[in-house]
A and B are shown apart, each in its own frame.
Chain A
């Protein structure tokens, strides 16, 4: 019996979400393009933010609503991330917490 690592996708797949049709995250493209540090790529525990062909993409559906990206983007990036609470009832639904 040994312990194995779980991929992030697998872990996120264990969670329960009520996915909204509209995103609670918006990114100001212009500001984001000027940002070289892009701390969001490293700090988000759900890897919501990713680079695809040099452009930032984000999957709000996976968000754990911790708020790490707000602080990192404002403090170490350009403040391009505009994060609001999802609409009532939507987003992550912790069953244990």
Chain B
């Protein structure tokens, strides 16, 4: 093998984790090859989230000044959807509209090209339109990658291929994903004029709103999201794969039903759907995280199942950036020792702890089962709506006190003991 064929590091996938890793490594002078299967960075990527700013700011200081962010999120909403009504918990935080901000809506086709550009600027070689089919292994060690007939070699391969995590499986670091641990998310990108969004969502220029939607999923574990972009809305629904199959419900129909819910239709009416996208989401929490490293190999971002969902925040993109940076630092340490074995690369795990990624995932290890509790996505959203509707109504009939109204609506749906158990579960999980 000729010298010029060998790189210090090959990074698979020019998404947020991969481009960040490549950026950090190339900045330190390493020879980095960043391989993307899309015809350009971002072509294969979609998001059902917002990107939390502070963690990204640590790697790319003041990134919002140059990156194509859509809106700074200053209005945060959790919405419980009933049949015809909705109960909303709303935070308006104008302070989050100033540096360092809290979170931004982004569109990945643009944002990922920016971050891949940062990797290139720092000296990484980006090749697009190349699919990595296999890892090249030798005595159980990862030596490089294979694409079609071509083989390329490196001291370390960083896998940042995304949620399908096919190379992690090939490296023998994970078993099969379980359908009950994984959801499929679909999204419609709905174009609306910037002014209409400002008015409808009551936000100033450059500021935006995010909505977490609970309920109205035909009994399927999951929920929805709605984010404002500059001149469009991202509306999506996420549903557990095993339940879709068992109940024979189609996720592409669930999202259309969603659009007709009065709460949602008011927000999107007049808009034009411009794109329909889909993605899997690893909901299993820390228990689902595979082994993160092997000889000559590291996994970062979604391919390592790094995701935190605690109902209030859904973190994937900032974890991708942080884990990409941590993977790069682990490689830099290994390079000092010129030892790329699994034990040398295991520094990655401590770096992920220092970045609070694994520690946060451990802290929220109970939330996956909370979010899978049937009552949270079937009974309670409806209950919240029907109770509130009655409490805010006046009828020419004797009124009941609030607690009595709640008890009456609970009848046949949830016992008092169930509710107490669930409250304890919420307390433990969140």
Residues of chain A having any CB pair with chain B under 8 Å: 1-3, 5-6, 8, 11-12, 14-15, 18, 37, 39, 42-43, 45-47, 64-68, 70-72, 74-76, 84-89, 91-97
Give 5 A-B pairs besides A75-B176, A84-B133, A89-B38 with Cβ atoms closer than 8 angstroms.
A5-B257, A42-B245, A66-B164, A66-B278, A95-B274
With contact pairs A14-B275, A43-B184, A94-B46 given, residues A6 and B256 touching in the complex (Cβ less than 8 Å): yes
Which stretch, B2-10, B246-254, B378-386, touches the partner chain A?
Answer: B246-254
- Most A C-beta atoms less than 10 A away, residue of B129, B131, B232: B131
Q: How far is the CA of A1 from the CA of B192 in the complex (A)?
A: 14
Interface size class of B (residues with CB under 8 A): 35 or more
Is B242 in contact with A46, judged by CB distance below 8 angstroms?
no
Q: How far is the CA of A15 from the CA of B44 in the complex (A)?
A: 12
Is B177 in contact with A97, judged by CB distance below 8 angstroms?
no
Q: Is the CB of B421 closer than 8 A to any CB of chain A?
A: no
Is A1 in contact with B270, judged by CB distance below 8 angstroms?
yes
**Is chain B's interface secondary structure helix, strand, loop, or mixed overall?**
mixed
Is B273 in contact with A6, judged by CB distance below 8 angstroms?
yes
In the complex, chain B residues whose CB is within 8 Å of the CB of A95 = 109, 274-275
The contact of B131 among A37, A42, A87, A94, by CB within 8 Å, is A87
What are the 9 closest A-B residue pairs judged by CB atoms, nearest first? A97-B108, A89-B129, A39-B245, A11-B276, A67-B164, A5-B256, A66-B278, A45-B278, A3-B265
Q: Is the CB of B77 closer than 8 A to any CB of chain A?
A: no
Is B242 in contact with A97, judged by CB distance below 8 angstroms?
no
Residue of B nearest to A5 (CB): B256
Is A94 in contact with B179, judged by CB distance below 8 angstroms?
no
Within B197-248, which residues are at the interface with A (CB < 8 Å)?
Answer: 232, 241-242, 244-245, 248
CB distance from A86 to the nearest CB of B (A): 7
Is B280 in contact with A67, judged by CB distance below 8 angstroms?
yes
Q: Is the CB of B91 closer than 8 A to any CB of chain A?
A: no
Residues of chain B having any CB pair with chain A under 8 Å: 37-39, 42-47, 107-110, 112, 128-133, 147-148, 163-164, 166, 176-179, 182, 184, 186, 188-189, 232, 241-242, 244-245, 248-252, 256-257, 259-260, 264-265, 268-270, 273-280
Is B107 in contact with A75, judged by CB distance below 8 angstroms?
no
**Is chain A's interface secondary structure helix, strand, loop, or mixed overall?**
loop
Q: Can you list 9 pairs linking A and B with CB atoms under 8 Å apart? A: A42-B245, A45-B186, A64-B276, A67-B280, A76-B245, A85-B131, A85-B133, A89-B39, A97-B109
Is B44 in contact with A43, judged by CB distance below 8 angstroms?
no
The contact of B45 among A6, A84, A94, by CB within 8 Å, is A94
CB distance from A31 to the nearest CB of B (A): 15
Q: How far is the CA of A92 from the CA of B109 in the complex (A)?
A: 12
